[in-house]
Amino acid sequence: MALHKATDHKQVDDTTDLFAGTVATSVAAKNRMPENASRPEAVYQLLHNELLLDGNASQNLATFCTTWSEDQVHRLMNECLDKNMIDKDEYPQTAEIESRCVNILADLWNAPAGATAMGCSTTGSSEAAMLGGLALKWRWRHKRLAEGKPADKPNIVAGPVQICWDKFARYFDVEIRQVPLEPGATGLRPHQLADYVDENTIGVVAILGVTFTCDFEPVKELSAELDRIQAETGLDIPIHVDAASGGFIAPFLYPELVWDFRVERVASINASGHKYGMAPLGVGWVVWREPELLPEELIFRVNYLGGDMPTFALNFSRPGGEVIAQYYLFQRLGKQGYREVYEACAATARYLGEQIASMGPFELLYDGRGALPAISYKLKDPENAGFTLYDLTDQLRMRGWQVPSYPLPANRQETVIQRILIRHGIGRDEISLLADDIHRALHRLTAGTPAVLPDDVSRIGFHH
Ligand SMILES: *Cc1c(COP(=O)(O)O)cnc(C)c1O
């Protein structure tokens, strides 16, 4: 028997309620293009409702990426829907704004070349890392060939990297030498380097904001160790800093921390504009300390406005709105604004860290002090806790919170951790509600009943 749709015998026109029309009263064919067109508002509403299943971005405490923007950012993004970043000819002002952003970052990261520093926007830190890695590989090859030595076995040395460096290594045929985490360590340690670098090392990647633990690797100390290795062996190995998250935190929260181009060995830096840069998803940055560090063969030149515009990118067409939004944020917030936002985020992270530490079963791995506005923690005694962090993830998910659990990388895989990131758009009150929910979840997991928090007593009340 065929099911009759409510609208089968009805005339659908502009006055028909969205939820009385065909789109709302039938199950959409999902993997096949429909034969006919539908009303835009109806299809919009259908998709709007479906997307609610993704969960609520402001409760996603797993991502580093922007989940909240001011209205002006939404408006600019809308106005820039037609801007193609690659068409420097057609959109010269967008190109101009991109290069202003590069100059701002070069200055923020203390590039000695100042406004002549070389850099570009990308789709994110992953593409930026590929470009940084390619420049390292080309420079190493030039040097090897000039010395009459083979250049067929390049390697790159790093601690617990984000997957983009594994991709770089595989896609561009470079061996990745991943230095395992030492017990108790949250990143690469200088004394580990000597066992991993050699004449085929194109560079060392130092991470400002280790994905797993949120910590900053000690760029200056890693560089000092490479100085020592150079004095001993003659090997002159450059550093690329993957500052995907930390590149927009360190200059504002830790201006004294020397991690950027003030360290002479740092050849290039990448950062994600769409993480702590606060821009909407789809923009990253890479900057070289000086133009000479970017080999000419990697640069393609396009003529625009009678000028000569160098481009270095894996993509061709891509949206320009994110770059405009990034520039808006630089102008809108200034250094003071970025500092204030991240001071507030960091204070909220420390607040949550204190709450988590006082609950009993957790041990903080990172307490929100000295690096990203975030915390990470593990169970003190996983064997006897009576629950796993994965169970806690599930409990929190019931209230909409996204707090994933995952094992640490190489050599410490037995340790499972949770990580909570505090970003622009997440307030203290929201985090206090999360802390209450963690309390309740713990009680449920260990005692099997929902906890009554001191605050709850008044809420439940004993009204007669
Ligand atoms: C997020 C991240 C990346 C990848 O950045 P995307 O902007 O998502 O491409 C690379 N490295 C580190 C350390 C990261 O945190």
Among 275, 285, 315, residue to substitute to test ligand 1 (most atoms within 8 Å of Cβ): 275
Q: Is the CB of 211 under 6 A from ligand 1?
A: yes
Closest Cα to atom 5, ligand 1: which residue?
Answer: 125
Q: Is the CB of 409 under 6 A from ligand 1?
A: no
Domain 4-54 fold:
MYOD Basic-Helix-Loop-Helix Domain, subunit B (4.10.280)
State residue 336 phi and psi, 5-degree precision: -60, -45
Q: Is the CB of 272 under 6 A from ligand 1?
A: yes
Among 63, 126, 207, residue to substitute to test ligand 1 (most atoms within 8 Å of Cβ): 126
Residue 208 CA: nearest ligand 1 atom is 13
Contacting residues for 55 by C-beta, under 8 A, at least 6 apart = 400, 402
State the distance from the centre of ligand 1 to the C-alpha of 285, rounded, in angstroms.
Answer: 11
C-alpha–C-alpha distance, residues 196 and 177, integer Å = 7
State the distance from the centre of ligand 1 to the C-alpha of 244, rounded, in angstroms.
Answer: 5
Which residue is it, tokens 């890695």? 133
Q: Is the CB of 164 under 6 A from ligand 1?
A: yes
C-alpha–C-alpha distance, residues 364 and 376, integer Å = 6
C-alpha–C-alpha distance, residues 322 and 328, integer Å = 10
Residue 243 CA: nearest ligand 1 atom is 13
State the distance from the centre of ligand 1 to the C-alpha of 13, rounded, in angstroms.
Answer: 48
Q: Is domain 73-329 in CATH 3.40.50.620, yes or no?
A: no
Q: Which two tokens stand for residue 292?
A: 């000479």
Q: Which two tokens stand for residue 107?
A: 């200055």
State the distance from the centre of ligand 1 to the C-alpha of 339, rounded, in angstroms.
Answer: 21
Q: Is the CB of 247 under 6 A from ligand 1?
A: no
Closest Cα to atom 2, ligand 1: which residue?
Answer: 244
Nearest to 158 by CA among 147, 148, 168: 168
* Strand, coil or helix: 390: helix
Q: Residue 251, class by beta-carbon neighbours within 10 Å (0-12 exposed, 13-18 middle, 19+ buried)?
A: buried
Q: In tens digits, what is the pLDDT along the chain, a chain of 464 residues?
A: 344 444 445 577 788 888 898 777 888 788 999 998 989 999 999 999 999 999 898 899 999 999 999 999 999 999 999 999 988 888 889 999 999 999 999 999 999 977 678 999 999 999 999 999 999 999 999 999 999 999 999 999 999 999 999 999 999 999 999 999 898 888 999 999 999 999 999 999 999 999 888 989 999 999 999 999 999 999 999 999 999 999 999 999 999 999 999 999 999 999 999 999 999 999 999 999 999 999 999 998 877 666 677 789 999 899 999 999 999 999 999 999 999 999 999 999 999 999 999 999 999 999 999 999 999 999 999 999 999 999 999 999 999 999 999 998 777 778 899 999 999 999 999 999 999 999 999 999 998 755 556 555 544 444 44
**Beta-bridge mates of residue 216:** 208
Q: Is the CB of 246 under 6 A from ligand 1?
A: no
State the distance from the centre of ligand 1 to the C-alpha of 209, rounded, in angstroms.
Answer: 9
> CA-CA distances (angstroms) from residue 306 to 41, 88, 301?
45, 11, 12
Residue 207 CA: nearest ligand 1 atom is 13
Q: What is the DSSP string of 182-237?
A: PTT-SS--GGGGGGT--TTEEEEEEEBS-TTT-PBP-HHHHHHHHHHHHHHH----
C-alpha–C-alpha distance, residues 62 and 400, integer Å = 12
Contacting residues for 287 by C-beta, under 8 A, at least 6 apart = 102, 105, 106, 109, 111, 117, 118, 119, 268, 269, 270
Q: What is the pTM of this model?
A: 0.92
State the distance from the centre of ligand 1 to the C-alpha of 167, rounded, in angstroms.
Answer: 12
State the distance from the centre of ligand 1 to the C-alpha of 125, rounded, in angstroms.
Answer: 5
Q: Into which CATH architecture does domain 345-460 fall?
A: Alpha-Beta Complex (3.90)
DSSP annotation of 178: E
Q: Checking DSSP bridges between strand 416-421 and strand 405-407, what pairing results, if any? A: antiparallel
Residue 128 CA: nearest ligand 1 atom is 9
Contacting residues for 3 by C-beta, under 8 A, at least 6 apart = none
Q: State the sign of the Cα–Cα–Cα–Cα dihedral 77, 79, 82, 86.
A: negative
State the distance from the centre of ligand 1 to the C-alpha of 265, rounded, in angstroms.
Answer: 22
Among 215, 219, 240, 242, residue to substitute to test ligand 1 (most atoms within 8 Å of Cβ): 242
* Domain chopping of the chain, boundaries: 4-54, 73-329, 345-460
Q: Is the CB of 162 under 6 A from ligand 1?
A: yes
Q: Is the CB of 122 under 6 A from ligand 1?
A: no
Asked whether 79 and 71 are in contact (CB, 8 A), the reply is no
pLDDT on residue 2: 40
Residue 129 CA: nearest ligand 1 atom is 10
Asked whether 190 and 225 are in contact (CB, 8 A), the reply is yes
Q: Is the CB of 125 under 6 A from ligand 1?
A: yes
Among 125, 211, 286, 372, residue to substitute to test ligand 1 (most atoms within 8 Å of Cβ): 125
In the sheet that holds 374-379, the strands lie side by side as 362-366, 374-379, 416-421, 405-407
